[in-house]
Structure 1
Amino acid sequence: MDQDDLPRARQDAADQLSKEDLDSYSQEELLERVALLEAEIARVKAQHARAADHRKAADALFGSPPQSGQAG
């Protein structure tokens, strides 16, 4: 998979989830699906926090990159 295809692939996955017919799911299956999605959200948020911490550490060590629109 080409690097340029990644955002599109992610969007396709989100589209697929949002278009899935949920009528055939029982109440229990819907709750299981919610739990799985919440677990995935927690996983993504944890990765985001790790990435933010890594960025803070790099900025502390090497200095912050110049902000766009500011003279460096």
Structure 2
Amino acid sequence: MSLSNAGETGGLIDIGPARVNAAPMDADENLPRRKDDLVAQLAKQDLDPLSVEELTERIALLEAEIDRTRSKISRSINHRASADALFKK
């Protein structure tokens, strides 16, 4: 195809307008994905070889982590509320 007849035969430029924002974007889509997802690793771990004592200890450790996570959520909510109150007009 030569430059003289490019407009006549239609090229890739003439395929139509591209759709911008055709689908909504997920808020977490731009966040990097962790390759070492610890929760997934925990779920895949075979519990059969563990004794009752080891399973009890595991539950205690997981409950402590849940408490730590809930505490972080609470602090984050309080921090956000304080910031909102500070900048409220």
Question: TM-score if structure 1 supplies the norm length?
Answer: 0.73
Which residue, 54, 58, 63 being the options, matches 1:29?
54
Q: Which stretches in structure 1 are left out of the alignment for 5+ residues? A: 65-72
- SS of structure 1 residue aligned to 2:37: helix
Specify which of 57, 74, 77 is matched with residue 49 of structure 1. 74
Deviation at 1:63, TM superposition (A): 2.3
Highest CA radius of gyration, 1 or 2?
Answer: 2
The two structures, once aligned, show a CA RMSD in angstroms of 2.3
Q: Deviating runs (4+, > 4 A) in structure 1?
A: none
* Unaligned ranges ≥5, structure 2: 1-30
What TM-score does the superposition give when structure 2 sets the normalisation length? 0.60
18-27 or 8-17: which moved more?
A: 8-17
